[in-house]
Amino acid sequence: MTDLIRMTATEVVQRLKTGDITSLDCLDALERRVAAVDGAVNALPTRCFDRARRHARTLMERPLGERGLLAGLPVPIKDLTDVGGVRSTQGSPIYRDRIAENSDLLVTHLEGNGGVIYAMSNTPEFGAGAHTFNEVFGITRNPWNTALSASGSSGGAAVALATGMAWVAHGSDLGGSLRNPASFCGVVGMRPSPGRVAATVFSKIDSTLGVEGPMARNVEDLALLFDAMVGEEPADPLSLPSDGTSYLKAARSGWKPKRVAVSRDLGLPPVDRRVADLVMAAARKLEAEGVIVEEAHPDLRETRECAQTLRALSYANMAPLLEKHRDLLKPEVVWNIEKGLKVTGAEIARAEAQRGEMFRRMRAFFETYDLLLCPTTIVPPFPVEQRYVAECDGVTLETYVDWLMIVHAITLTASPAISIPCGFTAEHLPVGLQIVAPGRGEAKLLAGARFIEQVLGLGVLTPIDPRT
């Protein structure tokens, strides 16, 4: 069972497809691993192994070749996305005892491709903030040092991967929520282009800020899960049809970039010098492989104003919860809802125009460069007692989301981006490299990310046992 936990997802799926192991074997291994380590990190507070085994047995009634891309591979789902018959809380006391009646479109799509859902991963309340804690389940801790944050909001997913409680994991991303925890936990997380991954539509049917996406321990495993996530679903009007691309094959294609740009801060300071130095050192290693590396970035100066306005607007639909349950909401959520309710039409128009300009500048930038490299997070993991980063490199940050602008900027341009490990601080804490590609360029992004992963030699960091 220990050997199984330490295999890559691609190795496990290959063995599932040949019948060497079964999905039930995988679930047994995971259940033992969760029992052994989750008490120290609190990544998967809700588990549904009975439901998973029922699904696995049904899947196993099919011939080996008809069990989907994942062939019975277990997958945890972030506790912002409903799984039918399972406790789904949104990390909020308001929904502490809620059992979802139906599964989200994303879940049914994954299950249709051979995924087996066995747990819900912890998240901040309503995914607000990049530090995973809530009043329902408590804090999720970083396995590299359990006194530190795992980041968020897909923090439970990242920690489950890093500790061997998952081979792949689902997450979501508006302001870096797939990328930030990947950086803090030494794993890989990708924000796809809007529309690549279909999900159930709620209040706004055409939102391109928040997306669903994959996490894994390495680039190949992430590409495997991404292949099982992509595809058109009529119930999601923004979902894109699959063009037949195998993203796993793309990752393995051997393509390498000719010219990349690297930036210490995207022109959006501050960034901790330890982080910036590790990112720059990683980029310079590419030069030895014949890649042209230049310090450059597109003009993204409107990021903070634009992100604050559009993020606030996305919370305005939660006004009924504020009216009925204000005392149960954390202060940061209250602030965001109230800010969203005060946004004017003129402010919205200005923010949308700013976003359009940044989108066009990014597209023009990629006429010169294959990829853009920069930090994923502006700091290494911070103490769990802090609610968010309030200061960096001597600069005081005003709000709980100001420290996320380096990932928000990429969100606003609708570019796909991935975070992979690029090194460690002197305290042996992981730091992530954010790699950005042109819009809808996931195939190039994954190929480039795997190339850089191989150059850096950091593709096999996890799983680890939690450390104090």
Question: What's this model's pTM, rounded to 2 decimal places?
Answer: 0.98
Are the C-beta atoms of 127 and 80 separated by less than 8 Å? yes
**Set 78, 256, 330, 444: catalytic member:** 78
CA pseudo-torsion sign 77, 79, 84, 86: positive
In a domain, residue 96? The reply is: yes
The structure tokens 């074997």 sit at 25
In a domain, residue 463? The reply is: no
CA 120 to chain centre: 15
* Average pLDDT estimate for 409-433: 98
In a domain, residue 304? The reply is: yes
The per-residue pLDDT for 2 is 72
Helix, strand, coil shares, percent, the chain, to 5: 40, 15, 45
Range of the domain at 287: 2-456
What the block records as the tokens of 415 is 């570019």
* Average pLDDT estimate for 283-303: 98
The per-residue pLDDT for 418 is 99
**Set 121, 151, 154, 177: catalytic member:** 177
Peptide bond just before 463 cis, omega within 30 deg:
yes
Residue 38 has pLDDT above 80, yes or no: yes
In a domain, residue 266? The reply is: yes
Are the C-beta atoms of 172 and 78 separated by less than 8 Å? yes
In a domain, residue 468? The reply is: no
The per-residue pLDDT for 204 is 87
The per-residue pLDDT for 1 is 63
Are the C-beta atoms of 417 and 445 separated by less than 8 Å? yes
Banded model confidence at residue 158, pLDDT cuts 50, 70, 90: very high
184/419 Cα distance (integer angstroms): 10
125: CB partners within 8 A, 6+ apart:
90, 91, 92, 134, 135, 329, 330, 333
- CATH code, 314: 3.90.1300.10
Long-range pairs of 236-243 with CB within 8 A, sequence gap ≥ 24: 236/105, 236/198, 236/199, 236/200, 236/201, 237/201, 237/205, 237/206, 238/194, 238/195, 238/205, 238/206, 238/207, 238/208, 239/195, 239/197, 239/198, 240/193, 240/195, 240/196
The structure tokens 């954010």 sit at 434
Nearest to 421 by CA among 446, 456, 467: 456
Residue 153 is a catalytic residue: yes
332/125 Cα distance (integer angstroms): 9
Name the percent of the chain lying above pLDDT 70. Answer: 100
Residue 177 is a catalytic residue: yes
Model confidence pLDDT, tens digit, residues 189-224: 999 999 999 999 988 899 999 999 999 999 999 999
In a domain, residue 154? The reply is: yes
In a domain, residue 466? The reply is: no
Domain tally, the chain: 1
**Set 153, 193, 263, 415: catalytic member:** 153
If you average pLDDT over every residue of the chain, what do you get? 97
In a domain, residue 244? The reply is: yes
Count CB atoms within 10 A of the CB of residue 351.
22
Model confidence pLDDT, tens digit, residues 40-86: 999 999 999 999 999 999 999 999 999 999 999 999 999 999 999 99
| Range 332-350 burial, b when 16+ CB lie within 10 A, else e | bbbbbbebbeebeeebeee
Nearest to 166 by CA among 297, 252, 99, 77: 77
